[in-house]
Amino acid sequence: EAKRLGDGRPQFFQQAQEDELEERLTLERELRHAIDHDELRLYLQAQVNEAGNTIGAEALVRWQHPERGMISPGHFIPLAEQTGLILPLGDWVLKEGCRLLGEWRQDPRLQHVKLSLNVSVRQFQQPDFADQVMTVVAAYGAPPERLTLELTESLLLSDPEGTINKMKTLRHLGVSFALDDFGTGYSSLAYLKLLPLDTLKIDIAFVRDLTLDMQAKPIAATIIALAESLGLGIIAEGVETDDQRLVLVNLGCHLFQGFLFDRPAPALDFVKALSADHVA
């Protein structure tokens, strides 16, 4: 029989909780170290138009852990959000992204490629976020009109006015905004109308089921129609098959991202693939 604690729970529950806390603390310590010791990597995934040309890329962070190997953001972004490490992490992503954009200016193959960076709510809500972006953009000579920031609907829950003001300041500079994972959050259509956005990203959840599920197609059609009526661009995430791509084209979506085109890869590989396309 399991030994009982004062509160009546078997002791193995407490042990499991302690192990979990221990693991989280280890990961937190290691992540803090990783941010300062060059263990983060920006992977890039192409954003492609109907003709198959790469018009942009989304930067997706990875953690090159010395023992655990390459770790996906799903495993450390939530922890980073909880611990506040998302601020130095987000700062690293912003700098690395702007460094790439600055570098790309010198390269005729890359001069037209835009770069999207994911920005977490906590990062965006810093009062001086717009200033930070302007400083980093200037420091790396990144063309702001080639920088897109991806935000999520949850931003609107707490501080719609502050959000709109920061977006306006940055848009004035030339920066674009995309609303990520659209359709999975709770943003009211009234707020959506107020946001100075450029693009809606259709969440992978609606793309995945597009050719299987009777519900997914009308939902995707509605999101695309909504984007049109608000004068916004639309891009579909997680496009894996040509059938999905065709359905999207028929619904009026002409920009795509997904494994059908490429998987997120180190910046150098992304650039190499781009040059190969141009030769073909």
Nearer to ligand C2E, 74 or 127 (CB): 74
Nearer to ligand C2E, 49 or 111 (CB): 49
Shortest Cβ 156–Mg ion spacing (Å):
16
CA angle 205, 210, 214 (to 5 degrees): 105
Taking CB within 5 to 8 Å according to partner kind, which of ligand C2E, Mg ion, none is near residue 77?
Answer: ligand C2E
Taking CB within 5 to 8 Å according to partner kind, which of ligand C2E, Mg ion, none is near residue 234?
Answer: none
Nearer to Mg ion, 30 or 90 (CB): 90
The amino acid that residue 53 corresponds to is N
Residue entry with tokens 């259709």: 202
73-83 and 11-36 helices, crossing angle to 10°: 90
- Regarding 181 and contact with Mg ion (CB under 5 A), the answer is yes
Member of 47, 166, 175, 181 binding ligand C2E (CB under 6 A): 181
Shortest Cβ 159–ligand C2E spacing (Å):
17
- Regarding 180 and contact with Mg ion (CB under 5 A), the answer is yes
Site for Mg ion in 95-124 (CB under 5 A): 118
Stretch near ligand C2E under the rule CB under 6 A, chosen from 30-38, 48-56, 71-79, 215-223:
71-79
Site for Mg ion in 117-156 (CB under 5 A): 118, 150
User: Cα Rg for the chain, rounded, in angstroms?
Assistant: 21
Q: What is the 3-state secondary structure (H, E, C) of the chain?
A: CCCECCCCCEHHHHHHHHHHHHHHHHHHHHHHHHHHCCCEEEEEEEEEECCCCEEEEEEEEEEEECCCEEECHHHHHHHHHHHCCHHHHHHHHHHHHHHHHHHHCCCCCCCCCEEEEECCHHHHCCCCHHHHHHHHHHHHCCCHHHEEEEECCCHHHHCHHHHHHHHHHHHHHCCEEEEEEECCCCCCHHHHHHCCCCEEEECHHHHHCCCCCCCHHHHHHHHHHHHHHCCCEEEECCCCCHHHHHHHHHHCCCEECCCCCCCCEEHHHHHHHHHHHHHC
Member of 211, 246, 259, 272 binding ligand C2E (CB under 6 A): 259
- Regarding 153 and contact with ligand C2E (CB under 6 A), the answer is no
The 108-137 contact track toward ligand C2E, x by CB under 6 A, reads: ----------x-x-----------------
Nearer to ligand C2E, 74 or 231 (CB): 74
Shortest Cβ 39–Mg ion spacing (Å):
21
Chain residues that interact with ligand C2E, rule: CB under 6 A: 45, 60-61, 72-74, 77, 90, 93, 118, 120, 150, 180-181, 204, 237-240, 257-259, 264
Chain residues that interact with Mg ion, rule: CB under 5 A: 118, 150, 180-181, 237
